[in-house]
Amino acid sequence: MSRANPETPSERHAISLALEPELLQRRAQQPATAAQLPDTLFAAAWLLLQSRWLGVLWPVLHERVGAQALPVSTTVAFDATRPAGEWLAELDAARRTE
């Protein structure tokens, strides 16, 4: 993922995350998560980081999607009283409708 660098608008911050192949394989075999987008965990981690660092309840995920790389924004507030799986499903669904 990448986002604009507020100090130098012509540059972008980039981040990557390496996941163990076994984790991805186990996740794909679980019925509740098998249908989710493959990068849902990464997107969720990015939103949680933004929430903590920026101190906002509704962090925004900016992405480019589709063949034309159209910009879309998704936001889903994290509620620590709900199971994480429910929040991941909500995030995944929101990313599909944007």
* Structural tokens at position 45: 């981690």
pLDDT tens-digit readout, 23-48: 777 767 775 666 788 888 889 988 98
Kindly tell me if the per-residue pLDDT of 72 is higher than 70: yes
40-54 and 84-97 helices cross at what angle (nearest 10)?
100
How sure is the predictor about 66, in pLDDT bands with cuts at 50, 70 and 90?
Answer: confident
Report the amino acid identity of residue 39.
D
Mean pLDDT score of the chain, rounded to an integer? 80
For the full predicted model, state whether its pTM sits above 0.85.
Answer: no
How sure is the predictor about 21, in pLDDT bands with cuts at 50, 70 and 90?
Answer: confident
